Amino acid sequence: MGSVYSREYDSRAREERACSPDALAAILEQQREAFLRDGPPSLEKRRADLAKLRLAIKDLADRIADVISADFGNRSRNESLLAEVYATRAAIRYFLRHLAQWMRPKRVPVSLELQRGRARILFQPVGIVGIITPWNYPFQLAILPLATALAAGNRVILKPSELAPRTAQFIADFLARLFPLEQVTTVLGDQTAGAALSALPLDHLLYTGSTTVGRLVMRAAAENLTPVTLELGGKSPCIIGEDAALPAAVESILYGKLVNAGQSCIAPDYALVPAAMREEFIRLAGQAVRRMYPNLNNNADYTRACRQLLQGHT
């Protein structure tokens, strides 16, 4: 089967979307008019959109890994293919398998005084969904929420992280060739673009990132009573029991800590270890690091931090 991803240059994708509040309001209005005009997309339409997105990701897997690595300074190709490409395609496959079941109306009982009536829950899209994403998994954390919103029948305004600019531009090009702008629009720009998007009267807003910015996002969204989903960073302790199989536990902990240079929201932050096992834990941890990464300099399998962060951006 040939690729569904157009090889022809689409000039819309190269034009960075204006990020002023008025320009974003115009994008929202365009999408809302289309949503009200067309109504909720059918099961067949949603499946077709998800299928072409999944196939396009497969076709461009190597390119995805390349642009992310360029943003990071070096990103392990294996990590990018596993965490960005495979994880996203696997999730979309799951959506395709279960979407018909999720869309099916659900019969629910009615109370005694309404017994002659019948009730059911109809699952409907909310409308226009805003998505603001971070830099640490710049493709997966943009495309997976996008696929989720499309599966639910919504339209999307996506703001990728400015700290991974090459990946953000790639995503803009990629999505503009797959979907019309009235269905999916990618907004490029710095944190002011994210702030402007948060302030729009969206039907739902998803933000992934820091707790500090999450508070600002929720505060801006509250002005319009926009429902918000936040995925925020935090602390992830590992608790070692006295009966733990220590070598296996340490191996798993160090893998989780070192993958993506530790830049994962659920990366182990610290370990609570019984005092009697402390020295053995340290010894095994050192062995695990040396086994997984015999050297760090010039090691293509060890991910560097995001290049933009290394240049002093916050």
Active-site residue set: 231, 265
Rounded CA separation 196/3 (Å): 35
| 262 Rama class: left (phi>0) / alpha (psi -120 to 50) / beta | left
Q: How far apart are CA 154 and CA 38, in angstroms?
A: 11
**Would you state the structure tokens that stand for residue 213, as one six-digit string?**
């910015």
**Strands, E assignment, the chain:** 106-108, 119-121, 128-132, 155-159, 184-186, 204-209, 228-232, 237-239, 270-272
DSSP secondary structure string, 155-204? EEEEE--TTSHHHHHHHHHHHHTTS-TTTEEE---SHHHHHHHHTS--SE
Task: Judge contact between 68 and 297, C-beta under 8 A.
Answer: no
Are the C-beta atoms of residues 128 and 182 closer than 8 Å to each other?
A: no
Q: Six-digit token pair at 12? A: 């819309």
| In contact, 263 and 136? CB cutoff 8 Å | yes
